Amino acid sequence: MADVSETAKMEEEEEKHAYSVWALPPDDVEARLKKLMDGLRSDFGGPHFEPHITVVGAISLTPDDALRRFRSACEGLKAYAASVDRVATGTFPSQCVFLLFHPTAEVVETAAHCRGHFGYKNSAPYMPHLSLLYGDLTDEEKKKAKEKAIILDESISSLSFQVTRLALYKTDPEDKTLKSWEKIAECSLTSN
């Protein structure tokens, strides 16, 4: 009997962390986005982070459980197209200036599939976006940052690409510097 309670105790003691699932842009698009993000940061500040479309927002899990759920979610998932609707601004620091993507069936279904595997519940409808700048800016500063994004990359509003990789990231929501964020695993999606 002691073995069962020991195992349960160890599982209870295993630390939980916040994990997120991100859709990653292809390398050429990633380089383009990083250049744009660096340009915005040089004028408006904010932390450095990797370009990504959040598929599953931060959820508290043990490391083993997060990895198991991620691998399970990736099984059989197909690569899909993502296309930008417009450059937008938001109310949260993590959505200061972002690219809003068209919520196509493929984009929304992939998120719903992954969220189901993670048991992630959110009352707000899924809003596929790729943040360009994190920060607590005034509405006027956000407007300037949005205009600057379009100046730095005038065709960014018509960007589209194939999402062929998902990644599991450890994302501590308390870390405003984002320096503790780390990629835990990555999976390649099968071609259509």
**Residue with the two structure tokens 């509405």:** 139
Active site residue 129: yes
- Supply the DSSP symbol for 176: T
120 phi/psi in degrees, rounded to 5: -85, 125
**Pick from 113, 107, 124: which is nearest to 53 by CA?**
107
What's the sign of the alpha-carbon dihedral 63, 52, 99, 81?
negative
CB atoms within 10 A of CB 134: 24
The one catalytic residue in 17, 48, 52, 102 is 52
Question: Counting every residue, how long is the chain?
Answer: 192
Report the alpha-carbon distance of residue 5 to residue 74 in Å, rounded: 33
The one catalytic residue in 17, 102, 113, 129 is 129
Amino acid at 15: E
Active site residue 102: no
Annotated catalytic residues are 52, 129
